[in-house]
Amino acid sequence: MSRAALIVSLASFATLAGAPGARATDWEASLDVRLVNSDADHSYMNGGLGSARFDRTDSALELGRARFALTQALGETWSAHLDASVWDDKDAHPLGLTEAYLQFRPYPRDGYRLRVKAGAFYPPLSLENRASGWESPYTLSFSAINSWLATEVRTIGAEAQLDWLGSRTGHSFDLSVTGAVFGWNDQTGVVLAADGFLLTDRQTPLFGRVGRPGRAPLNGAQPFLELDGRPGAYAGVEARYLDRLVLRVLRYDNRADPAEVDSVAGVVAWHTRFTSAGLRLETESGWTLIAQGLDGDTEIAPPGFQATWPFRASFALISRRAGRHTLSARYDRFWVQVRGTDAGTQSGHAWTAAYAFDASARWRVSLEWLRVTSDSYNRADLSGTSPWATQTQVQLAVRYALGSAIR
């Protein structure tokens, strides 16, 4: 009941925001409902080791996501962005914010532009999650890399980006450099170490949890905690050729002290570092190619224990858009190894095929088939089953969206 009241009040706010006279307020609301079929035993969301969002215990009809987003201009060069969602997926709170930030975006000068964000938002890593609400317009489930970002990586801090707008000054290229400092990152890595890479579209709400408490291996892990008071940092570059090709490289280090322990909360700090590189190529005939690679490690070293988990993942996605139809295929590979007091490997690959039909600006129907094959030492340790498992998940999604920019 309280959830319904919340949605009603959000909708009223949306109506107010879109009223004439409320200039420079842009909003969006959407509802995504799924028919789901999965042969997985237990999803990571249900305290299991299934790598996808749903499992065989989930009912056929599921709430994919209910979302409300607002962008409010504050004067000429500042704006506030809020992105709120309801998933109905065992979250600590029924409604969560995935992003909430202030942006400073002064006018470009002499071909250069500065952009500053402060608050909570995604680091500029994904070339796949380009649709509203950090969703992928190609598939319902994100790649393993971007599923990981959705699950436990967020910038809660400040980021500055300097753009050289070459395409506005007679050149074919644009260049950007980005840097950020952030906190509340000391648990980034815990989901990766416990469950390996996932293929999901569940975005962990800010200061929210993943899965249910009391169920190993995740125990409702909370990725966005600050334990050691040491800010993390990242730096990245982006190059673009016209509107055809985007290249992104970013180096991330949460600079957590791996020896830090919060004995009250019963958590340790995870020192996570990685490098990501990706490219997206689009052609006039509607083809899109996206490839991304991730290489890093995470470490904990509380008294009497030390372990490091090197990890690697990559994917290639090809998509063809023809009018209202989008057909996409993606291949993911992922690998996490634990070295130290404990030892083992989680590795695997996944195939995803998806079709989306944009019936109108408001209605979208998507069908996705996902097959994940993985080897996880945790399966043998925790449930005594074979470390190898293959799971197949099929989803049919219907999404309705409305907003100030959607007609």
Partner 1 sequence: MRPPARLRQHLPPRGRTGALVTWLTLLKLCAAHSATLVIHVQTADGHALAGAVVTARPLDGPARHAPPQHAVMDQVNRAFEPDLLVIAVGSTIQFPNSDSVSHQIYSFSPAHRFQLPLYRGEPYPPVLFEQAGVVTLGCNIHDEMLAYVLVTDAPYFGRTDADGAWSAEVAHGRYRVALWHPRLRDAGSDLERELTVNESDRAELTLRLQKPLQPAPLTGRPHSWDY
Q: Between residues 306 and 404, which has the closer beta carbon with respect to partner 1?
A: 404
Q: Between residues 147 and 272, which has the closer beta carbon with respect to partner 1?
A: 147
Q: Between residues 35 and 245, which has the closer beta carbon with respect to partner 1?
A: 245
Euclidean distance between CA atoms 17 and 117, whole angstroms:
23
In angstroms, give the least distance from the CB of 347 to partner 1.
Answer: 31
Q: Between residues 14 and 49, which has the closer beta carbon with respect to partner 1?
A: 14
In angstroms, give the least distance from the CB of 259 to partner 1.
Answer: 38
Euclidean distance between CA atoms 291 and 317, whole angstroms:
6
Euclidean distance between CA atoms 200 and 346, whole angstroms:
17
Q: Between residues 130 and 215, which has the closer beta carbon with respect to partner 1?
A: 130
In angstroms, give the least distance from the CB of 48 to partner 1.
Answer: 33
Compute the Cα dihedral for 278, 118, 100, 52 and give only its sign. positive
DSSP state of 45: G
Euclidean distance between CA atoms 153 and 142, whole angstroms:
14
Residue 125's SS3 state is coil
DSSP 206-233: TT--BS-TTSTTTSSB------S-PPEE
The contact set with partner 1 (CB under 8 A) reads 23-24, 26, 28, 73, 76, 105, 107-111, 113, 129-132, 137, 165, 167-170, 172, 242-244, 282, 284, 286, 321, 323, 358, 404-407
Q: Between residues 43 and 178, which has the closer beta carbon with respect to partner 1?
A: 178
Q: Between residues 4 and 110, which has the closer beta carbon with respect to partner 1?
A: 110
In angstroms, give the least distance from the CB of 218 to partner 1.
Answer: 30
Q: Between residues 43 and 203, which has the closer beta carbon with respect to partner 1?
A: 203
Euclidean distance between CA atoms 342 and 348, whole angstroms:
20
In angstroms, give the least distance from the CB of 74 to partner 1.
Answer: 10
Euclidean distance between CA atoms 293 and 249, whole angstroms:
10
In angstroms, give the least distance from the CB of 286 to partner 1.
Answer: 7
Q: Between residues 109 and 264, which has the closer beta carbon with respect to partner 1?
A: 109
**Nearest partner of 159 among 183, 134, 185, 179, judged by Cα:** 179
In angstroms, give the least distance from the CB of 125 to partner 1.
Answer: 12
Euclidean distance between CA atoms 173 and 190, whole angstroms:
39
Residue 201's SS3 state is coil
In angstroms, give the least distance from the CB of 395 to partner 1.
Answer: 21
Q: Between residues 79 and 393, which has the closer beta carbon with respect to partner 1?
A: 79
End-to-end CA distance of the chain: 30
Q: Rg of the chain over CA atoms, in angstroms?
A: 21
CB 175 within 8 A of CB 238: yes
In angstroms, give the least distance from the CB of 141 to partner 1.
Answer: 18
Rounded alpha-carbon distances, angstroms, from residue 158 to 52, 120, 162, 178, 231: 31, 8, 14, 11, 11
Return the structure tokens found at 384: 């005594």
Return the structure tokens found at 65: 């996501």
Euclidean distance between CA atoms 53 and 90, whole angstroms:
12
DSSP state of 361: S
In angstroms, give the least distance from the CB of 249 to partner 1.
Answer: 17
